[in-house]
Structure 1
Amino acid sequence: MTGPAQSAFRPVQSLWTCLSGTLPLLLKLPVCVLVTILLLIVTWIIRPFDRRGAWLRSFTVFWAKTILWICHVRVKTVGLAILDPSEQYVFVSNHASWIDIPILLACLPHHVTFVAKRELFRMPLVGACLRRTGQVPVDRANQQGFVDGLKKAVEALTQNRRCLLLFPAGTRAPSGVGKFKDGAAYLAIRAKLTVVPVGLAGTARAMPRGSVRIQGGTVEVIVGNPIRTADLTVTARGNLTKQLQERVLTLVAVSQHRLRGRQLPQ
């Protein structure tokens, strides 16, 4: 098709491209919401009988894997073998998409608690899920509130023997790895826990920030070498933060290179 006919057809092509991404979303979102509501109901039922949180973790992992299946996200993992399933860790990761959370819940071999911004706890359904599953809120706009949130996270780690996961950049950075803040390093040093850098690649394309399209595709989670903090003091948090950012940047670059050439479904 050439000439005026091609020009006339171009708006139709643009409309179809938009609808082809939006229509599947209209089907996926209600199913994701339904699965999330079911998780809330289950956690409410089992909470009195699940003192150690084993059932909660099983249902949370099932929820995460179901969300990934609905969104057609395939996860490749690298480096999980270096983790000790019985050890308590603080995981730090880059953050590019909402889909990062179910990805990490599904693939990390530990019961993980997230540190999340307080605003998320005020959102309908999302906030209820975060509270029910024991996630920790922090107030990023208030320094004292932020420190208090980190202290609560340390207390939670001590009490329930879970691992903690933080996004040190504090917000999604689709173009790469955002600048890390020192909260994660501070928390790991205070708790005397080993901190593990984690790189995520491909998630910004699978579920772009600010877009209504869930494109799916293959993403990679790569785990770096753990860093011991037992001999560190809080004055070393700046150096540890810099070290973590450099390692995550390297992990993401390696993963992106591996994923390069794989085409996302149209």
Structure 2
Amino acid sequence: MKEEADIKKELYKKPSHIFVIPVLIIRGILWFPALFLVHFFLRMEVKGKENLKDIPNGRVLFAANHSSEIDPYAFQYSLSFPSKFVPLYFVSLTTKYYPVAKFGLRSFIYGGLFFRLMGAYPVYKGLHDYESAFVNHIKILEKNHSVLIFPEGGMQKGQIGEARPGFIYLAKRTKATIVPVRILGTSNLNLKSIFSFQRKITIIFGKPISHTELLGEKEELSENELVKHAQTVMAIIKNLKNFKRCLINF
């Protein structure tokens, strides 16, 4: 098992080419139709956007809960365009985690080239090495771009799941600001509930957390420390459900 992981590390040592212009073009083309969809049919409400004003640059790791395939798309249209957080990139999985049996025709899009042109780059699971697993996202953040990650590692039905610690390593490694995000109203979302106005989506931005504020000045963190900090951020995400103030600014 360890030998297989070592072989994979060598395979994924170098990051993929990071598309910027294609991501911006596709985002620009889809911007107004998608904005109409999420605001007219899904009545999307954005709260806490004032928390983003004082972030100095785009090197931000947005950490959000995940309960639907629509989460990353709804989230990106909660941000202003253009802004320092655009282009926004996503942490996705490799193609084998999107089987046809579960995702149907969408499996031919998820994890492939078109997915990357949309800004979704895979984390390489099973390497037992965060540096290799997040090689693409380290490169993205070091270029002062923003990344959306789902700390739970996959979609959760119902309650928010436990956070995996990799995103804390990613923030520490790149000195990125962490912004906790709560996404409400997307669980069990389908076409019928979208076009029948049965749902309302809410995106809530928490206060930004600098890597030093959360992690201190230590050069390296143990696995237990990573887990502890991941749980702290996940607790903040859960509590954002009680956020009161709303600010929408497109």
RMSD over equivalenced CA pairs, Å: 3.0
Q: Distance in 2 between matches of 1:188 and 1:63?
A: 33
Q: Distance in 2 between matches of 1:149 and 1:66?
A: 36
Helix, strand or coil: the match of 1:179?
A: coil
1:121-147 CA distances to partner (integer Å, 9 max, x unpaired)?
Answer: 78213334312123211133x134764
Quote how far apart the aligned CAs of 1:98 are: 1.2
Which runs of structure 2 are paired with 1:158-197 in the superposition (5 Å)?
158-159=142-143, 161-197=144-180
Q: Which has the higher contact order (CA 8 A, sep 6+)?
A: 2
Q: Distance in 2 between matches of 1:118 and 1:165?
A: 16
Moved more, 239-248 or 143-152: 143-152
Q: Quick check: 1:155 aligned with 2:115?
A: no
Quote how far apart the aligned CAs of 1:155 are: 1.0
Judged with a 3 Å threshold, the aligned counterparts in structure 2 of structure 1 residues 64 and 144 are, in CA distance, closer, same or farther, namely farther
Q: Distance in 1 between matches of 2:114 and 2:140?
A: 17
Question: 1:250: which partner in 2?
Answer: 239
Helix, strand or coil: the match of 1:90?
A: strand
2:51 is aligned, of 62, 65, 82, to 82
How many aligned residue pairs are there? Answer: 201
Question: 1:97: which partner in 2?
Answer: 68
Is contact 2:185-2:202 (8 Å) kept?
yes
Question: 1:237: which partner in 2?
Answer: 226
1:118 is aligned, of 85, 91, 94, to 94
2:201 is aligned, of 219, 222, 226, to 219
Helix, strand or coil: the match of 1:187?
A: helix
In structure 2, what residue type is equivalent to 1:148? S
In structure 2, what residue type is equivalent to 1:241? A
Is contact 1:196-1:224 (8 Å) kept?
yes
Is contact 1:56-1:133 (8 Å) kept?
yes
Quote how far apart the aligned CAs of 1:239 are: 2.7
Which runs of structure 2 are paired with 1:32-111 in the superposition (5 Å)?
50=21, 54-62=24-32, 64-65=34-35, 67-68=37-38, 72-84=41-53, 87=57, 88-109=59-80, 110-111=85-86
Q: Quick check: 1:134 aligned with 2:119?
A: yes
TM-score by length of 1: 0.65
Judged with a 3 Å threshold, the aligned counterparts in structure 2 of structure 1 residues 63 and 170 are, in CA distance, closer, same or farther, namely farther
Is contact 1:136-1:149 (8 Å) kept?
no
Structure having the larger proportion of residues in helix: 1
Helix, strand or coil: the match of 1:107?
A: coil
Q: Distance in 2 between matches of 1:64 and 1:240?
A: 35
Judged with a 3 Å threshold, the aligned counterparts in structure 2 of structure 1 residues 74 and 178 are, in CA distance, closer, same or farther, namely same
Helix, strand or coil: the match of 2:66?
A: coil
Helix, strand or coil: the match of 2:207?
A: coil
Quote how far apart the aligned CAs of 1:60 are: 4.9
Is contact 2:89-2:147 (8 Å) kept?
yes
Q: Which blocks of at least 5 consecutive residues in structure 2 are unaligned?
A: 1-18, 100-106, 246-250
Is contact 2:163-2:234 (8 Å) kept?
yes
Moved more, 116-125 or 218-227: 116-125
Question: 2:9: which partner in 1?
Answer: none
Is contact 2:165-2:227 (8 Å) kept?
yes
Q: Which blocks of at least 5 consecutive residues in structure 1 are unaligned?
A: 1-46, 259-266
Helix, strand or coil: the match of 2:77?
A: helix
Q: Flag the structure with larger Rg.
A: 1
Judged with a 3 Å threshold, the aligned counterparts in structure 2 of structure 1 residues 162 and 62 are, in CA distance, closer, same or farther, namely farther
Q: Distance in 2 between matches of 1:156 and 1:197?
A: 19
Q: Distance in 2 between matches of 1:232 and 1:54?
A: 35
